[in-house]
Amino acid sequence: MSLQARVATLIVAFLGVAAVVAFVVVKYFLASSGPPTEDFTAHVTADTGTAVNVVMQEAPQTTVTTDPDWVTYFIQNPRTHQWVHTTNFAVPAGSRVNVTIYGFDGCTPLRNQLWGQVTGTIGNAMTVNGKTTKVLNSWSECSVAHTFAIPSIGLNIPVASPTSFQANSNLCSTSPCDLDDPHTVVKFSFMTPRTAGTYFWQCKIPCGLGYLDGNGGPMQTIGYMTGNMQVVG
Amino acid sequence: MSALNQPRHSTHREPNHGLRMALVWVVLSLAADLVIWFVWYPHLPPGRMTDVAAGQQFDMAVLSLFAAPVILFIWIYGIYATVVWRRRPGDNEDGPPIRGNKRVSAAWIAVTTALVLGLFGFGTYQLIVPNGAGGGQGASPAWAPSKVDLQVQVIAQQWVFTYRYPQFGGFETTQLVLPKGEEIQFHVTSLDVIHSFWAYQLGVKADANPGVDNVAFARPQQTGPFVVRCNELCGLWHGAMFDYGRVVSRAAFLTWAKTTETKLASVTKQLPPFALTYDPTVIKTLGPVLTKLGLTGAGGGFYGPQVPVQP
Amino acid sequence: MAIETEPTSGRLPGEPPPPAHPRRYRPWWLHPGMHTGFAGAVGGYFFGHWLGNAIGSGWQQVATADQNNLAMMLGYVFLTVGWLAGLGVFNDLLRGLIGRPIPHEEQESEARGGLARYFQYTLGHKVVGIQYLVGMIIYFCTAGLLAMAIRTELLSPTYHIFSAPTYIEIVGEHGTMMMMLMTSLITGPFGNYLVPLMIGAKRVAFPRIEALAFWLTPAAFLILLSALLVGGFPFGWTGYAPLSIQATEGADAYAFAFGLMGISVILAGFNLIATIICYRAPGMRWSRLPIFVWAVFTTSFLFVLAAPVLIGGMYMMLTDRTVQTAFFVDQLGGSAYLYQNVFWFFGHPEVYILALPGFGVVSELLPVFCRKPLFAYRVSAAGMLGVGLLSFFVWQHHLFVSGINPDMRPVFMLTTELISVPTGFIFLVALGTLWRAKIRFEVPMLFVFAFFFNFLIGGVTGVYQSDVPADVLVHGSFFVMAHFHYTIMGGLVFAFMAAIYYWLPKLTGIRLNRTLGLIQFWTMFIAFNSTFLPLFAVGALGQPRRVFEYAQNLQTLNDWVSISSFVLGGSILVFVMNFVWSMVIVRERETGNPWQSRGLEWQTSSPPPFENFRHIPVVLSDPYEYGVKDAPPVAELDPPPGVLAATFDPAVAARLEA
């Protein structure tokens, strides 16, 4: 090949490789390529004393994705009140967050019963269907479906499940679930830390069915049973 | 090094390269070792919060004392060679055909072997005397202290450490508080995958293997906070699996332990009895609805349709 | 069908090739090559995936997990079979099975030249060497880009550019790609190309196996990369169970790719051992073997003995993941320790597989640039063999704090300390060769010096870690990371650079640009040390490996390291540019012996002719006769008729004379 042809081929090849690398990075790697972050910080800034309301549900199936048999959380968009399939949310620093979780999934025993105790909330308690509860026993009762835990701020909530055998056999089978299906309503409040940052949250119930120890699959995939709480200063 | 055979065509006396290098080496090594011992040693990681941490700090210092002369030897030789033995412009001759020197080779082998065997002896002594040097020794530790004051179980799970104190009713907590001056026996185990308990300032590192009780010993000598990190990749949030512990005075520790035992009494009732390892896939006290749903334990039904699937 | 009494398919060494098979020359798109290989791979993958679904989609575990590991694994198996079939690897085998004559196209394709044969299953060892060279550079640069991504994330302990799952999959990809593929960084290109030339042979013992070993590497590379499409694998390059059993589909890609590369290196090692033992020219005694060949020989034994254990471990991991065996699952009777021991029994020889060829290269280059014989040649060879042998006895030093039998720890401390003795022989030989030498600081020699500088630091910090109490402090931290980057990158990769600057004129007849080489060297050396030296401190100060959040007070050090790593990446870019620029654009011819080396490989033309030598040479001495007045050349390339014949069996000699 002549010199010009070789130079031209080289330049084209180099640009091609650079384009492929850029594409892979943007599409697969950047944090922005994950599930969206529900923003609860609008109209509320840090330390104003105004509370923020977060509404979530956990569902036994994820029929909106290619992994229908995975359990998942949904978060309700604060403005449109639509259920969004994400587990990332943003809240203001130093503020009170009131959380409501609809528990549509059935009961499963915890691997460590310590996580049946509510910690880190205001009053160190939560309400389950209106009744104040401080600890749930997931071994002797059919009482816990999943947990919502933010370990770095000491928050741990065992999300209650429907307790009867009949309810557990008729769980909602499409997602997001609606209030006709058997469910519990769990409410609690906590204060967000003063320092801004990203705090991860996770479930502690072994709900990754089909994975060893129940801790694989949805348990380790952001958008399902684990996510990020972004505290905005 | 002894002078070697000179090529016949040279007419000048070859300077004693070995002596020159040796002199520079002795001076620099001495200087480096003095700096290492007196300036660097007191500040070496991981500090002196426990006896085993102090032992590790001592080991690092001694290893550095030997490493510095070795490194300096090679560097001095290399620099000397670059300066003195580089090819002068216009010189296309080969160098002298020296194929080997038995005495030099024998000396090298003898010195390096003696050095590593010495380090081996030192390392073994330093491993045995501080009761395993803070490393995990498995379920049957070979070098244990004569008396253990406090037993702490470290339970690693995805992605949090919890701690159980069997001598205080077996309560389980996410806070690690330790008393100063007492010999502590850590029992490190895991509930799921392999983790590793690394209490940096305590100088304790023991892998958490499922179904295994990994024992490590330490005696804190100073009070203060310390960092606990997971040191074995354990899944998505391994990097966020860390927390902080405290070493406090003996009295403060007893107060904390008794208060926490009372505070956590209700949840301690729910926990399985204290054991050296746990198998969450087999739970004997499962409630009736759970067994009716077909469960035998937590996260156990991994294999085959004959094993209940949920979960 | 008549039985042939003179079968044309077998050939003896030194025998002239049979007349070329009368066949029309086919254009490249009709000849099996990479394009047909890709087609076969895609078809094979879909078939295997379908088969896996047909078998396993009804299984409860598959239904609840929404992933079928069996389908992934069978997909990869048939992908590999399809890839090889498409390349034409099985063609000659099938021809032989059904009794058709096997064409010998090598000489005509060599005569035709052209680029097509580098993309085909070509049997010539020189072609395979160039294929390995380009392949290895591509693999190295891809894994290097992943390393740049890691360092970008570690610029800040709190602000995360990549999400946590992405970061951990990048870490795993980088580590696995490097550890898996760089095993053949030097033995692949330089071992395959140069060993026959250095021992005076016209070919290797098993050209088909050699070419097959190469063509498994792109398959392994692409399968490993494809893990990123399914979410990667969250357990780093070591793949500890039970996390690797728990992981999603990316883990199947990891296990299969690693196992496939294990097969590749076993085949490569097998071929090299047979070649070195059986194909040495007359007069090439073991005591005259170039030290590089000794290093390749030892590495090949490590390949053949250690890689099967890896394949076993990966196989067990795959059966645990697909068909629910329980080798590594504690609550079902297995043990997580089993995996750790199986893996590290391979893993420790693996790192010596990475280090030994580097030793060979620098020991080979030192005499040339010092103009002196290699000092203490026998000690050097003994050092290589000693390192290889002892490497099988040290593996539990990776497991000091894991809860293994505590009495084992002094034993492995001893063996690990002892292995530094034969490793030190490389330094003895270097220092002796430098003594009163006339050092020529060409670009390859600069890389040799850098090798010794880096490996010294790497080796000494290895001794730190062999001391169990110090290991309790540094195990699993960035200290370990800095140690192995110093020995592997500071050792192997710098040696690779030395080798490529030294031998590229021999392999291709083209020399690399000297100015760009100097720029690359100085940037790379300074940036490399600036990147990895602070990491010893970072690790000793408490930062574990593979974490994306670290203590705030370590941010300055991490930032320094990250910026240096970008510069290091830049220097590799300079290298790639130099390589591509010199090979494709400038093509500055260098057909002589630019380094005035006495090596046998330099006595041929650059690049060497089809069968390397017109006649098998008779070797007269080792290639280190520098400084000896009126020394004869290293070999007699045109031996008088009777000399050669006398070394062969009379029947063979008669045929040679004919």
Are A26 and A39 found together in one domain? no
Residues 6+ apart with CB under 8 A from C318: C69, C73, C252, C255, C256, C259
Asked whether residue B2 carries a pLDDT value surpassing 70, the answer given is no
| Residue linked to tokens 């990966």 | C314
B53 near A CB under 8 A: no
C38 near B CB under 8 A: no
Please name which of C503, C521, C365, C498 lies closest in space to residue C434, comparing C-alpha atoms.
C365
The neighbouring-strand residues paired with A99 are A54, A188
Q: Degrees (nearest 5) of the Cα angle C6, C12, C13?
A: 160
| Residue linked to tokens 């073991």 | C286
Confidence at residue C506, expressed as pLDDT on a 0 to 100 scale: 94
Q: Which domain holds residue A149?
A: 35-232
> Each residue of C120-145: pLDDT tens digit?
999 999 999 999 999 999 999 999 99
Confidence at residue A43, expressed as pLDDT on a 0 to 100 scale: 64
Closest approach of chain B CAs to the CA of C309, in angstroms? 22
CB contacts, 8 Å: B158 with chain A:
202, 213, 215, 219
Measured distance CA(B257)–CA(B263) in Å, rounded: 10
- ω into C607 cis (within 30 of 0): yes
| Overall fold of domain C104-586 | Cytochrome C Oxidase; Chain A (1.20.210)
Are A116 and A128 found together in one domain? yes
8 Å CB contact between A115 and A206: no
- Altogether, the residues listed in chain A come to a count of 233
Q: A: neighbours with 3+ CB pairs under 8 Å? A: B, C
**C435 with B17: Cβ contact below 8 A:** yes
Beta-sheet pairing, B160-165 with B214-218: unpaired
3-state secondary structure of A226: strand
Asked whether residue C204 carries a pLDDT value surpassing 60, the answer given is yes
If one counts every other C-beta atom within 10 angstroms of the C-beta of residue B128, the result is 15
**A200 with B237: Cβ contact below 8 A:** yes
- The sheet carrying A144-150 orders its strands as A37-39, A88-92, A226-232, A197-202, A144-150, A155-160
Are A55 and A4 found together in one domain? no
Q: Degrees (nearest 5) of the Cα angle C421, C426, C429?
A: 115
Confidence at residue C64, expressed as pLDDT on a 0 to 100 scale: 82
Of A114, A142, A215, the CB nearest to B158: A215
Asked whether residue C81 carries a pLDDT value surpassing 60, the answer given is yes
- ω into A78 cis (within 30 of 0): no
Q: What is the mean pLDDT of residues B42-60?
A: 94
Give chain C's contact residues with A (Cβ, < 8 Å).
Answer: 60-67, 145, 149, 158, 160-166, 170, 228-229, 231, 234, 242, 245-248, 329, 580, 584-585
If one counts every other C-beta atom within 10 angstroms of the C-beta of residue A16, the result is 10
Quick one: pLDDT band at residue B13, thresholds 50, 70, 90? confident
* CA–centroid distance for B234 within its chain: 18
Please name which of C488, C470, C548 lies closest in space to residue C236, comparing C-alpha atoms.
C548
Asked whether residue B6 carries a pLDDT value surpassing 50, the answer given is no
Measured distance CA(C523)–CA(C542) in Å, rounded: 29
Confidence at residue A46, expressed as pLDDT on a 0 to 100 scale: 63
If one counts every other C-beta atom within 10 angstroms of the C-beta of residue C110, the result is 17
Quick one: pLDDT band at residue B282, thresholds 50, 70, 90? confident
Are A161 and A126 found together in one domain? yes
Complex-level ipTM: 0.92
Burial B281-291 (b: 16+ CB within 10 A, else e): bebeebbebbe
> Each residue of A110-139: pLDDT tens digit?
999 999 999 999 999 999 999 999 999 999
Domain boundaries, chain C: 29-103, 104-586, 607-657
Closest approach of chain C CAs to the CA of A183, in angstroms? 22
Confidence at residue C258, expressed as pLDDT on a 0 to 100 scale: 97
8 Å CB contact between A146 and A59: no
Total domains, chain A: 2
Q: What is the mean pLDDT of residues C79-102?
A: 94
C64 near B CB under 8 A: yes
> Each residue of C577-614: pLDDT tens digit?
999 999 988 888 888 899 999 999 999 888 898 889 98
Confidence at residue A31, expressed as pLDDT on a 0 to 100 scale: 65
Asked whether residue C1 carries a pLDDT value surpassing 50, the answer given is no
C471's tokens = 């290991």
Asked whether residue B201 carries a pLDDT value surpassing 60, the answer given is yes
CB contacts, 8 Å: A212 with chain C:
242, 245-246, 329
Of B104, B135, B235, the CB nearest to C432: B104
> Each residue of B116-167: pLDDT tens digit?
999 999 999 999 999 999 999 999 999 999 999 999 999 999 999 999 999 9
| Residue linked to tokens 């309810």 | A167
Asked whether residue A57 carries a pLDDT value surpassing 90, the answer given is yes
Which of C240, C329, C331, C379 is the best mutation test for B, with the most CBs of B within 10 A? C331
Closest approach of chain C CAs to the CA of B26, in angstroms? 18
If one counts every other C-beta atom within 10 angstroms of the C-beta of residue C658, the result is 6
Q: What is the mean pLDDT of residues C550-556?
A: 94
Confidence at residue A212, expressed as pLDDT on a 0 to 100 scale: 87
CB contacts, 8 Å: B21 with chain C:
none
Measured distance CA(C216)–CA(C132) in Å, rounded: 11
Are A105 and A206 found together in one domain? yes
**A34 with C163: Cβ contact below 8 A:** yes
CB contacts, 8 Å: A198 with chain C:
158, 160
B162 near A CB under 8 A: yes
B158 near A CB under 8 A: yes
Asked whether residue B305 carries a pLDDT value surpassing 50, the answer given is no
Q: Average pLDDT, whole number, for chain B?
A: 90
Asked whether residue B210 carries a pLDDT value surpassing 90, the answer given is yes
Please name which of C609, C621, C616 lies closest in space to residue C646, comparing C-alpha atoms.
C616
- ω into C16 cis (within 30 of 0): no
Q: What is the CA radius of gyration of chain A?
A: 22
Quick one: pLDDT band at residue A154, thresholds 50, 70, 90? very high
**A141 with B289: Cβ contact below 8 A:** yes
> What is each CA distance from C287 to B167, C561, C623, C626, C644, in whole angstroms?
68, 45, 11, 17, 20
Asked whether residue B306 carries a pLDDT value surpassing 60, the answer given is no
> Each residue of C435-461: pLDDT tens digit?
999 999 999 999 999 999 999 999 999
CB contacts, 8 Å: A108 with chain B:
295, 298, 310-311
Q: All domains of chain B, ordered by start, with CATH? A: 17-87+101-128 (no CATH), 150-270 (2.60.40.420), 280-311 (no CATH)
Measured distance CA(A106)–CA(A182) in Å, rounded: 9
B292 near A CB under 8 A: yes
C182's tokens = 């760089």
> What is each CA distance from C96 to C12, C91, C123, C213, in whole angstroms?
18, 9, 16, 21
C213's tokens = 């070993």
Confidence at residue A27, expressed as pLDDT on a 0 to 100 scale: 81
Stated as kind and residue range, the H or E segment containing B236 is none
Asked whether residue B224 carries a pLDDT value surpassing 70, the answer given is yes
8 Å CB contact between C264 and C304: no
Are A84 and A8 found together in one domain? no
CB contacts, 8 Å: C165 with chain A:
220-222
8 Å CB contact between B122 and C390: no
8 Å CB contact between C316 and C342: yes
Measured distance CA(C359)–CA(C366) in Å, rounded: 11
> Each residue of A77-110: pLDDT tens digit?
988 999 999 999 999 998 999 999 999 999 989 9
Quick one: pLDDT band at residue B308, thresholds 50, 70, 90? very low
8 Å CB contact between B4 and B10: no
Tell me the residue type at B146.
S
Q: Average pLDDT, whole number, for chain C?
A: 92
Confidence at residue A45, expressed as pLDDT on a 0 to 100 scale: 61
C304's tokens = 């053949």
B127's tokens = 């491993």
Shortest CA distance from B296: residue in chain A? A109
Measured distance CA(C317)–CA(B184) in Å, rounded: 37
B225 near C CB under 8 A: no
Of B157, B159, B235, the CB nearest to A112: B157
